[in-house]
Amino acid sequence: MTSSPLIELEVTAGIATVSLNRPDKRNAISDDMRTALIETLEHVASNADIRALILTGKGEGFCAGGDVAGMERRMNAPTGEIAFNGWSRQQRVHHTQGLLLNMPKPTIAAVNGAASGLGADTALACDFVLASEAATFTWSYIHRGIVPDGGGMYFLPRRVGLAKAKDLIFTGRKVELEEAVALGIVDRTSTSATLLHDAHAWATALTQGSATALALSKGILNQSFELSAHDVFAQGSQAQGICYTSTEHRESVTAFLAKRDAARASKG
């Protein structure tokens, strides 16, 4: 798969870097951009040679959220079409966020600037958030008279707790980097100059183990707040059964046993 004008894809040593590429619009996500992003994420998810994903933005912003032109079209649509058009758009938004959330490999949001509204939600849809000194976060939906529709009402409470999530969503205030770290929105910090390098190094470290075990673990962990202990144990048992038959497990055990036998032989 090749890059599109709106979404750039670069794969280096098994790590995919996906860049939102509308820097003149602070990478606000248009309908065309969302289509390209969905196609790119589906490609990354299905390609076994890609072991991790880094999501970032071109230019000075990570993502300004939804495209203003789309909002304008919605306002000008015939009254009888607004609800269904909005519902249809929501399905695509949620499909995109779901692709990030359920990506069967590690994902890192490399936040290089402002992440606003849907942009902030998109960062939190990734497993980890790495931010430069220029990063800010704003759940600014309230200023447009709407609710967070990119998963913010799911992701944010799990990051910062319910009361703090309410504060950020009810006020729509800007969160600077220091507070974002303190709240747990950001996992690690970097600099603008080294952000992608650090993201790549982190992604590489996350992909040294079994891809099978990682994907299965991630799928269960993503549900762990909603499941009972019994459910987690049950899903874990099924996942372990799969791991027992995986190439990674068999190769690892074989290597361990060979090392043990060699050590015994040297002592004998």
Tracing tokens 């080294």 back to the chain, one arrives at 194
Is residue 56 within 8 Å of 199, Cβ to Cβ? yes
Count CA atoms within 13 Å of residue 50 on its CB side. 24
Spatial contact of 93 and 34, defined as CB atoms under 8 Å apart: yes
pLDDT at 107 over 70: yes
- Give the torsion sign (CA, 213, 216, 219, 224): negative
Structure confidence at residue 2 (pLDDT): 64
Provide the token pair at 103. 């990506």
User: What is the mean predicted confidence (pLDDT) over 227-250?
Assistant: 94
Residue 71 has pLDDT above 70, yes or no: no
48: phi then psi, degrees, rounded to nearest 5: -65, -20
Phi/psi for 186 (5° steps) reads -110, 135
Nearest to 155 by CA among 100, 73, 105, 210: 100
Residue 13, Ramachandran bin (φ over 0: left; ψ between -120 and 50: alpha; else beta): left
For residue 85, the model assigns a pLDDT of 81
For residue 113, the 8-state DSSP code is S
Per-residue pLDDT band for 84 (boundaries 50, 70, 90) equals: confident
What confidence score (pLDDT) does residue 49 get?
Answer: 97
Sign of CA dihedral 55, 60, 61, 66: negative
Residue 172 vs residue 1, higher pLDDT: 172
Of the listed ranges 28-42, 66-80, 166-180, 221-235, the one predicted with least confidence: 66-80
Round to whole Å and give the CA distance between 172 and 26. 18
For residue 70, pLDDT beyond 80: no
- Asked if residue 239 has pLDDT above 90, the reply is yes
Average of per-residue pLDDT across 138-160:
96
Predicted structure pTM score: 0.93
Can you give the pLDDT at residue 66? 85
Residue 74 has pLDDT above 70, yes or no: no
Tens digits of residue pLDDT in 171-202: 999 999 999 999 999 999 999 999 999 999 99
DSSP H helical segments within the chain, as ranges? 31-46, 68-76, 79-101, 118-124, 152-160, 162-171, 177-183, 195-206, 211-221, 229-244, 247-267
Average pLDDT over residues 230-254: 93
d(CA 144, CA 166): 17
The DSSP element (H or E) to which 43 belongs, if any, is helix 31-46
Express each pLDDT in 203-215 by its tens digit: 999 999 999 999 9
| pLDDT over 70 (residue 69) | no
Asked whether residue 72 carries a pLDDT value surpassing 80, the answer given is no
